[in-house]
Amino acid sequence: MKRFSFFAMALLMCTITFAQQALWGGAPVVSPEIHSDNTVTFRLKAPKAVRVQITGDFLPKQIIKTEHGESEAPGIVDLTEGKEGVWEFTTPEPLQPELYGYAFVVDGLRMMDPANVYMIRDVATVTNVFIIGGGRADLYKVNAVPHGTVSRMWYHSPTLNMDRRLTVYTPAGYETSGKRYPVFYLLHGAGGDEEAWIALGRTSQILDNLIAQGKAKPMIVVMTNGNAWQQAAPGEAPAGFTVPSMRPAERAAAPEGGFELSFPDIVKFVDKTFRTIPNKKNRAIAGLSMGSFHSCNISKYYPDMFDYVGLFSGASTGNDKSTCPVYTDFEGKLKVQFAKKPALYFIACGKTDFVYKGVSDFRSLLDKNGFKYEYLESDEGHIWKNWRIYLTEFAPKLFK
């Protein structure tokens, strides 16, 4: 019995030792290190590497030439090798408050920072992240305020004949208040899914902070999966660990306008499952890029469903060659929608966004018809930095 106890104790000590090595030995250097002046130092121990670089959205953009023309990409710079094979780079200037993403490139191979466990997936790209606090970026942080609840839920869509997944934020106190709440439907862009806004958009942090500050009304936020061919985010459906893609093969099998036509399935599920205020005045819809296209079409196809509409970095022009009723008679549907006087029609776009001209053309159409809307123009382009800004500006305008 004593011998058994000795071996059991030895085994326990080995387990603790290995656990401590995994916990404390996995990060031999500090990276990123945010200094008091908001410059940031990145480090990687790679004694056998020939060249180590870092790429991130805090670096000057680089222009990439493709078969479709030129596009912007995050910049890339070299690290300098120091003692014991530790490579290092410090930003030459302080970084402005923001959520930033980055990755290392070691001898041409992209890799994560082993000293930073915080990562986010955007379509098929994973990046490390960190936050420089201050100003608007404080809304992206978890602060000492009451917190809402984030749930992943499944619903059945009779229109698409499949079970589908969505993410729902309920505000602090929802579980015990007994109150009914307005609902904000927030849609992702191409390549995204029901995880995009909650991870990359920092939706729960933004809403927690805005509500706590009294700048936004307590609301339910529903983050859908806008890919009509897809049950759920990659890895979260019976299809298994599929490779995320902007244009998967399954897309061809999706019915035209399937997401827009099936949207009432989502609204019915939400109204049945949560304590909502189920009327137009207490519903909002907004989305980025493809989600903007969806929001534009859904709100005009169902003009009595949403009183608040937000188009972030995108719009729609209709398609009269289409046989799908969602896309035909584009201007006619807009006229019906605006005749019903939506409480807010909000458009936002970056100055260098590749969709800028399309958004300008859409605004010209609205101006020609005398349709009232609010417009916000920001710097930079088709990036999450802008979409987080638009969310922080749009949410406080809702349900007033």
pLDDT value for 4: 43
Q: List the chain pLDDT tens, one digit each, 400 residues.
A: 444 454 445 444 444 444 444 445 555 799 999 999 999 999 999 999 999 999 999 998 777 665 545 566 789 999 999 999 999 999 999 999 999 999 999 999 999 999 999 999 998 899 999 999 999 999 999 999 999 999 999 999 999 999 999 999 999 999 999 999 999 999 999 999 999 999 999 999 999 999 999 999 999 999 999 999 999 999 999 989 988 877 666 656 678 899 999 999 999 999 999 999 999 999 999 999 999 999 999 999 999 999 999 999 998 877 778 889 999 999 999 999 999 999 999 999 999 999 999 999 999 999 999 999 999 999 999 999 999 999 999 999 999 9
Specify the 3-state DSSP secondary structure of 21. Answer: helix
Q: What per-residue confidence (pLDDT) applies to 246?
A: 74
Sheet with 86-90, edge to edge strand ranges: 33-34, 40-45, 86-90, 80-81
Report pLDDT for 129: 97
What single letter denotes the amino acid at residue 221?
Answer: V
Closest to 60 measured CA to CA, from 79, 73, 49, 69: 73
Tokens found for residue 196: 């995009």
Place of tokens 């080995």: 14
SS3 42: strand
Cα–Cα distance measured from residue 187 to residue 193, given in angstroms and rounded to the nearest whole number? 8
d(CA 400, CA 396): 9
Ordered by where they begin, the domains of the chain are: 28-133 (2.60.40.10), 140-397 (3.40.50.1820)
Query: What are residue 16's phi and psi, to 5 degrees?
Result: -65, -40
Tokens for 108, please give them: 């041409």
Q: Report the alpha-carbon distance of residue 132 to residue 128 in Å, rounded.
A: 14
Q: Which amino acid is at 316?
A: S
85, 45 Cβ separation under 8 angstroms: yes
> What are the residue ranges of helices labelled H in 287-383?
290-301, 330-339, 356-369
pTM: 0.91
8 Å CB contact between 100 and 130: yes
